[in-house]
Chain A
């Protein structure tokens, strides 16, 4: 089973760009880690603002993307067969997963989530931190696939 390093959140933030870190710090302070990750994924800019172009995604659709991200993250961390190849690659190194895995993990699950890796990565930082905090075994005990 995959194991994740128990590190302070500040250490996990080191893989983020300064603007991402700044936003996540404010979101975590306001909402806590998991809700902060959800806010990051579902945010669509300033409120009461009509946008002039592009995709017509709304907050309801963004919530669907958040649910997909959570599902794919759980599958990856908890050993689901759909990520067997990637899990074996990580386990063969014999190391605990640390912040360095965020970029690869974002790239691996992005196609199933349907969002760019660059927006997924900051949310993964928070989800990995949460899973590490309670241990992967305890985190996965409640998951059913």
Chain B
């Protein structure tokens, strides 16, 4: 398995007292430290955004969930596409970082395996970088304001905190897309903050083409 533990990060918001609230996942997409995430992860925030620096040196390390300390870097919003729900952030760091090629859902077939790295439940204060593997269930065009973009259905249930996760090709490490959410029409019912329609066993991923066009 390819270890993306140094490239997949938590996006957070810093309060005046330096307490950081975790908002979701993101990952580096360029060697000058630009980060892709879902726009809804940052909402309309732009002055107090931070990226939490990796808390482990490799994915096989035990992650101490009682450790609520973190190191962070201030993140600036460079680009937002509200139609595709994507955002590009940047942190200031010296040197360069190696990032995998940005590919596309065009380059993987339905039924083929994909890997996902993200932080499920980080919005509830739990920071555990987690790896999932599943397959592409379908390719779709989804619409926002009448404009269509390329997405895939992943045969996996995901939970809050995973928006912005890296979706990649485990065969070569190429970036295929970014996890956005799941199909869930309004049910009119809310149980502990969950719309029961969200509990289907699939998730949506937007094609990395839409990230590339913003860089």
Contacts and interface: CB of A to CB of B under 8 A. Distances in A.
Interface of A: 17-20, 23, 26-27, 30-31, 39-57, 65, 110, 114-119
Interface in B189-215: 195, 197-198, 204, 210, 213-214
Nearest to A38: B145
B83 A53 contact: no
**Number of contact residues on B: which range applies?**
35 or more
Interface in B121-136: 122-123
B80 A50 contact: no
B159 A52 contact: yes
Interface of B: 11, 23-25, 38-46, 77-85, 122-123, 142-147, 149, 151, 158-164, 179-185, 195, 197-198, 204, 210, 213-214
Contact of B83 (A23, A48, A51): A23
A51 B81 contact: no
A51 B84 CA distance: 13
A1 B212 CA distance: 41
B39 to A, nearest CB: 7
A110 B81 CA distance: 17
Given A41-B82, A53-B25, A54-B23, A48 B44 contact: no
A116 B147 contact: no
Contact of B161 (A23, A40, A53): A53
A54 B44 contact: no
Contacts of A57: 40, 43-44
25 contacts: A18-B213, A19-B79, A30-B145, A31-B146, A40-B82, A43-B82, A45-B40, A45-B83, A45-B144, A46-B151, A49-B184, A50-B195, A51-B181, A52-B179, A52-B181, A53-B24, A53-B25, A53-B162, A54-B11, A54-B24, A54-B38, A55-B41, A115-B46, A116-B80, A119-B82
